[in-house]
Amino acid sequence: MKNFEKWQGCGNDFVIIDSRIDGEIDSPEKISRICDRHFGIGADGVIYVLNSDVAEVRMRIFNADGSEAEMCGNGIRCFTKFLLDGRDKTNLSVETGAGILKMNLRGNLVTVDMGEPILDAAKIPVAGYGNNRVINESIEVDGKNFKMTCVSMGNPHCVIFVDDLSEINLSEIGPKVECHKIFPKHVNAEFVQVIGENKLRMRVWERGSGITLACGTGACATAVAANLNGLTKNYSSVILDGGTLQIDWRDDNHIFMTGAAEKVFEGNFI
């Protein structure tokens, strides 16, 4: 019998399991069953709390298909609130697949220093661009041409700006962007519409999970892409299907993401 808590940030929901005592990680098949919304607990991913030799704690996160992700912005906010909720402590350092990140808790809001965006195509990775930046470059998907800007926040993102988000069939085009031949490790696909000054409306197809209500790293990548294309300043409100995240790309090149996280329920499973 294993205990868990379910948390959500902007509708992006996660099963969190504290494995600091035994260090146990479930198999990809079991993680998929846990995330199944009909036969399991139901979630966009499973997060494990682990001991760390380089930070206060370590986070490992797995997508709904059982594959491991390097990072998750909404997930790490839930992770932080899970660990700090009800305690006097308000700061936390977390080892992730994208490096050590620092968190700050203020009431129901968690601010995460997401680190610096990676814009080098070879490091994102995006094939065919060498070490150059991929900003407003053409990508053909299903016979249609789009303009993409690619960013890594420890995990890869392809941000596509459109005039009318309602015209995008995300369930159809999302997986085709994810698995496009120029993305050797696949990619998270964000479709974005500018709806006001420093205000962006974003929908996301997440690598390994499909359509989700929110993506924190995707919101960060979107804010960076919008700034690089001259569409916003360094501060943006990113409106997702499940809520709004505030993204601040500061002068030290670090990106700070602020948003809420809340507990949904707790229980145990076999």
Instruction: Enter the tokens of residue 21.
Output: 């005592």
Per this entry, what is the length of the chain?
Answer: 270
CA quadruple 159, 179, 70, 78: dihedral positive or negative?
positive
Between helix 73-84 and helix 216-228 the angle, nearest 10°, is 130
**CA 116/CA 220 separation, integer angstroms:** 10
Q: Which of these, 119, 104, 116, 97, lies nearest to 45 by C-alpha position?
A: 97
Q: Is the peptide bond before 175 cis (omega within 30 degrees of 0)?
A: no
Known catalytic residues?
A: 72, 215
Q: State how far the Cα of 117 lies from the Cα of 104, in Å rounded to an integer.
A: 20
d(CA 159, CA 156): 10
d(CA 209, CA 263): 21
What type of residue is 32? S
Cα radius of gyration (the chain): 18
Q: Strand, coil or helix: what is 184?
A: coil
Query: Using CA atoms, how far apart are residues 134 and 81, in angstroms rounded to an integer?
Result: 35
Interatomic CA distance for residues 44 and 209, integer angstroms: 6
Distance CA 255, CA 219 (A): 11
